[in-house]
Amino acid sequence: MAKKRKKKSRVGRLVILFFLIGGVAFFLLLFRKEMVRRVEPLLERVEVIKEKKEVVLYFSSPEGEYLVGEKRKILKKKELREEARELLSELIKGPSGGLIPTLPPRTKCLNVLVNEKGLAKVNFNQSLIKDHPGGSSAEILTAYSIVHSLTQNYPEIKKVQILVNGRPIETLSGHLSLKNPLSPNPNLIRKPD
């Protein structure tokens, strides 16, 4: 008889355990949206804790003749190529002040590769060419906003090769040769007043 009682108590405990696990699972499914809503602010705080880096992005002056720097904070990344891609994503978003964007808004940076000689190969999607407004000044400012934003924030980058869909391009809109990598051109930079 003692053995039967032990078996019944074990079975009873297992049944109770299954009901508890089932109840917790049901509760989690029923209130998952509420739990996500409460946990989300905690996850955002963790994101805020991540280290940020101040960079200078180069946009067109209102007259469309020069590049002017605008400070921005980006997330600091472990690898240069990841951080450079983050920087270019901010450049694509455009300026926050009275400056003019230099890259079409649907442009995406697909990847950035930097070799040991300081050459950054920056790969964009087709929108960089397809959505570009054209004109010699706009083309020059687009290319050099990319070059200066990278070279001025990362001393290890000396030159920039612009690619579209993984291939070198001749030009964006017919006015500036992009067959070879570009070096910074300080004559295009206007210091803020």
Name the range with the highest mean pLDDT among 26-30, 42-46, 137-141: 137-141
Neighbours of 84 (CB within 10 A): 26
Residue 26 maps to a domain? yes
Instruction: Give which of 64, 70, 85 is closest to 188, Cα–Cα.
Output: 64
Predicted confidence (pLDDT) per residue in 33-45, tens digit: 666 666 666 665 5
Give pLDDT, residue 174: 94
Q: Are residues 21 and 100 in the same domain?
A: no
Write out the residue range of the structural domain in which residue 128 sits: 52-188
Count of structural domains within the chain: 2
Stronger pLDDT, 79 or 4, i.e. the higher one: 79
Specify whether 61 is located in the same domain as 142.
yes
pTM of the model: 0.75
**Weakest mean pLDDT among 43-52, 129-138, 170-179:** 43-52
Shared-domain flag, residues 24 and 87: no
Helix, strand or coil, per DSSP, at residue 159: strand
* One domain for residues 148 and 120: yes
Whether the per-residue pLDDT at 8 is higher than 80: the answer is: no
Q: What is the pLDDT of residue 47?
A: 55
